[in-house]
Amino acid sequence: MTQTTYEYSETEGGSPIKMWTRGVPVDDRAREQLSKAAQMPFIFKHVAAMPDVHVGIGATVGSVIPTKGAVIPAAVGVDIGCGMMAARTSLTASDLPDNLAGIRSAIEAAVPHGRSGARGRRGPKRDRGSWGEPPQAVVDAWADLAVRFGNIVAKYPRLKNANTVVHLGTLGTGNHFIELCLDTEQRVWVMLHSGSRGIGNAIGRFFIELAKQDMRKWHINLPDEDLAYFPEGTDHFDDYVEAVEWAQDFAALNRRVMMTHALDALRSQITKPFEAECEAVNCHHNYVTRENHFGENVLVTRKGAVRAAKGTLGIIPGSMGAKSFIVRGLGNAESFDSCSHGAGRVMSRTQAKKLVTLDEHIADTAGVECRKDAGVIDETPKAYKPIEAVMAAQADLVEIVHTLKQVVCVKG
């Protein structure tokens, strides 16, 4: 195995931190946030930080937080089950038209994307970010989740009005995307990034606030109130685990539905018959799960991190205009079998809008059929760490199986 590349640091009154960040910038605020998480008394062994690490809410994005006897809802976050899916088709670059605008438009028409309206007094408001009337295939897919969601709502009625079926098979905004990519052999891939949408957000926010209420009730002082937690054995712990597992299942299904629609859109633009999912990956990078590490059963929360157990395939995307990677896990025990979930931000969205010009964005996305307007400056390549440096910093966590470069990018 490649020589270990992590940086080791002690936390006063807490667990150690191991960081795979050699050669990539790490904000001091992110280090402070990692230190606060490491001070929690139920951390198992150490906290692991991936090379894309940057400041988040409660817990650092790009962190792996193993725990025994407790779970921190804000460490999972509000985009529960957010993750990636990629499918290789039997098409090659020569099968694509010279002008890719039609493919981008077809995908945009097939998959609702962008912001969806809030529910008002007169009922739900809809726009391009959600379904008006969901197609029958989406309704049928939702039926598999509906009964379990009803059980959650029976305990917590405040969640009953959260968007559910109207967000299934939709992309959302921010760093979520659908891309058409080429690998080094000029084979065509479809890749997408999204999660549990409005319902995951509602579940996340609800239980984060519930955990804070519990901390106040029990007079528990925390290094950061967003590190509020549920002790195992309490009703809220079990209910949260049930709800978050449901949201993770919703997120995985959401990606499968979108992939189906994106591939249908591609078929509408390319007359040549083709197969898809010759090589498919569907993986979370915001989630909590039970795993065995160092001979013990623990809860592993990955916030902006991907499971990289030995032989497991994962996806590490770059930014708009950058390379992305299909990877195979090396099963590094020190990282709790994890790797980065992407390049990681080096500028906040506000900073990017102030510091990056539209001309720079257009130059940095040359050759990609995508939005070239000021509305996506916060997602421009300069807002992210160099993906090549990120991959080099985690050479002992994953091996690269395929290198992809996007030619079409759909953003919300």
Classify burial at 355, counting beta carbons within 10 Å of its beta carbon; exposed 0-12, middle 13-18, buried 19 or more. middle
In a domain, 190, yes or no: yes
What pLDDT is recorded for position 13?
A: 87
Residues with Cβ within 8 Å of 273's Cβ and at least 6 positions away in sequence, in order, are none
Catalytic residue of the set 167, 193, 285, 341: 341
* DSSP-assigned letters across all residues of 293-309: ETTEEEEEEEESEEE--
Q: Could you report the per-residue pLDDT of 301-346, keeping only the tens digit for each? A: 999 999 999 999 999 999 998 999 999 999 999 999 999 999 999 9
**Averaged pLDDT, groups of 10, the chain, 412 residues long:** 74 94 94 96 98 90 98 96 97 98 97 71 54 93 94 95 92 94 98 96 97 96 95 95 97 97 98 92 96 98 98 95 96 98 93 95 95 93 94 97 97 84
In a domain, 64, yes or no: yes
Helix (H) or strand (E) holding 34: helix 28-38
| CATH number for 152 | 3.90.1860.10
Query: How many independent structural domains does the chain possess?
Result: 1
In a domain, 390, yes or no: no
- Catalytic residue at 113? no
What pLDDT is recorded for position 120?
A: 34
What pLDDT is recorded for position 161?
A: 87
In a domain, 398, yes or no: no
In a domain, 261, yes or no: yes
In a domain, 368, yes or no: no
What pLDDT is recorded for position 118?
A: 45
In a domain, 347, yes or no: no
Q: Is 359 helix (H, G, I), strand (E, B) or coil?
A: helix
Q: Could you report the per-residue pLDDT of 165-177, keeping only the tens digit for each? A: 999 999 999 899 9
In a domain, 151, yes or no: yes
What domain range includes position 139?
Answer: 7-310+329-342
State both tokens at 121.
């007094």
- If one counts every other C-beta atom within 10 angstroms of the C-beta of residue 1, the result is 8
**Helix segments in 77-166, DSSP class H:** 101-110, 136-155
